[in-house]
């Protein structure tokens, strides 16, 4: 049976996709939960409009992420933290610390879930990875300095 997905279904597809599923799966799971509707001529037309809107939104998000990446890649973000005289931090640098430093130094607002930071426990230069979009991932150079 051909159905049109009304929401993302893991292992099946995205919203607006037309997929072929078993009749029982459609009747017993997808239809009652509101995840899909039966593919008819009018519904297929509506699905193509949903896909076009999704693609446009995805393209806009990709362009915005690329713009942010191009402004952050050449910069070095300075993060201050309490440290010993040997350069060992009391604690570690987290994604939240990196996001706060980026916001303070560049006025770019990034969600902390989009930053991947290894355990940084020393002062010096380190690298974090920012994933703003499924297609846009870039390194962020960090300079960790001891707080006075």
The CATH number that applies at residue 108 is: 3.10.430.100
Neighbours of 52 (CB within 10 A): 11
24: exposed, middle or buried (C-beta count within 10 Å: 0-12, 13-18, 19+)?
Answer: exposed
Q: What is the pTM of this model?
A: 0.71
Q: List pLDDT tens digits, range 70-111.
A: 999 999 999 999 999 999 999 999 999 999 999 999 999 999
Q: β-strand 120-122 against 36-38: which pairing, if any?
A: unpaired
Question: What's 52's domain CATH number?
Answer: 3.40.5.10
Do 40 and 20 fall into the same domain? yes
pLDDT band at 14 (very low <50, low <70, confident <90, very high): confident
For residue 68, being part of any structural domain is answered with no
More reliable by pLDDT, 48 or 121: 121
**Of 63, 82, 100, which residue is a domain's last?**
63
Do 49 and 104 fall into the same domain? no
Domain limits for position 105: 73-146
Do 27 and 81 fall into the same domain? no
Q: Rounded to 5 degrees, what angle do the CA atoms 49, 55, 60 make?
A: 130
DSSP assignments along 79-138, one per residue:
EEE-B-TTSEEEEEE-HHHHHHHHHHHH-----GGGEE---EEESEEEEEEEEEETTEEE
DSSP conformation class of 37: E
**Of 20, 39, 63, which residue is a domain's last?**
63
Neighbours of 136 (CB within 10 A): 19
In the chain, the number of structural domains is 2
DSSP conformation class of 71: H
Q: List pLDDT tens digits, range 24-68.
A: 999 999 999 999 999 998 888 888 887 888 889 999 999 999 999
Q: Given this model, what pLDDT does residue 50 score?
A: 78
């Amino acid at each position: 049976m051909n159905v049109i997905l009304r929401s993302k279904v893991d292992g099946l597809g995205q919203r607006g996709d037309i997929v072929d599923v078993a009749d029982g799966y459609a009747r017993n799971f997808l239809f009652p939960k509101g995840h899909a509707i039966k593919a008819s001529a009018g519904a297929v037309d509506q699905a193509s409009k949903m896909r076009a809107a999704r693609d446009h939104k995805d393209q806009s998000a990709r362009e915005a992420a690329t713009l942010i990446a191009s402004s952050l890649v050449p910069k070095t973000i300075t993060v201050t933290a309490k440290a010993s005289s040997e350069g060992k931090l009391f604690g570690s640098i987290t994604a939240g610390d990196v996001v706060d430093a980026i916001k303070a130094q560049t006025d770019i607002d990034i969600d902390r879930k989009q930053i991947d930071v290894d355990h940084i426990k020393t002062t010096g230069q380190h690298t974090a990875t920012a994933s703003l979009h499924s297609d846009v991932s870039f390194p962020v150079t960090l300079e960790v300095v001891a707080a006075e």
